[in-house]
Amino acid sequence: MRILLLSDIHSNLEAMQACLAEAPPHDVLVNLGDIVGYGASPNEVIDLSRSGKLFVRGNHDKAACGLMDVTDFNPVAGMAALWTRDRLTPANLEWLRQLPQGPIRVDETLDAQFVHGSPIDEDEYLVTLRDAQEPLTYSSVALTFFGHTHIQGGFSKNSEKGVLQPLYRSRDQRDVYEMKLNPEIQYLINPGSVGQPRDSDWRAAFALFDSEAYAITFFRVPYDVQRSQQRILEANLPHRLAQRLAIGR
């Protein structure tokens, strides 16, 4: 089975379109949440996302549809969530409310689960190897795919190198990094953020897991950042949300 993994699109239509255009053939698409928030194209991104089959909700999805209090957010994120809520169509608002809480499974024959934050807490950030220790110990599942941090890579248990980090050859072109996984090792893997990377690489990020090859392929693709920024500024969203897209922070 070939599983396409998208996460943290954050209403960035141009980035999502670029990822889908570059995505290799796959059997199923799994969306790891935070479809909306920050960006200026929430309805367009939801409409495009709804063609997928499997989803988990993110914290921005919950905030935008009223399932989470924006007081838990920083002021910029909270403002963007409320702006999104006011502009969602009734159908898209209800669709967000119905998104399931992770972890979910794709296939019972595949020892893998999918969540937004952590298998312990859907809103928990797994940024460092220390953060990853508890979920790696708590869960017996071989593969956990997560998002939320906007940092492509992940963590592994009982291996010499606990932190997984793709290495790319360029900073402005399409790039691919394949990593063979060990069936005897437990992993937490983040495909990266489609719409707002925070690993100092501005390019849109996604990944593909091939269960037969037991390998993860990470992708970075350039997209029309200027158009995404223009949409944010025209929507009178905070300038910071536009500026950060160009630096991947």
For 24, other C-beta atoms within 10 Å of its C-beta total 11
Taking the domains of the chain in order of start, what are their residue ranges? 2-246
What is the number of other CB atoms lying within 10 angstroms of the CB of residue 106? Answer: 19
- State the Cα–Cα distance between residues 45 and 12, nearest whole angstrom: 7
Does this model's pTM top 0.85? My answer is yes
Q: Which CATH entry fits the domain spanning 2-246: 2.30.30.50, 3.60.21.10, 3.40.640.10, 3.50.30.10?
A: 3.60.21.10
pLDDT attached to residue 160: 65
**What is the percent of the chain where pLDDT is above 90?**
91
44, 20 Cβ separation under 8 angstroms: no
For residue 159, is pLDDT > 70? no
Task: Tell me the angle at which helices 42-49 and 90-97 cross, rounded to the nearest 10 degrees.
Answer: 60
Residue-wise pLDDT for 30-39, tens only, equals 999 999 999 9
Q: How far apart are the first and last CA of the chain?
A: 33
pLDDT at 53: 81
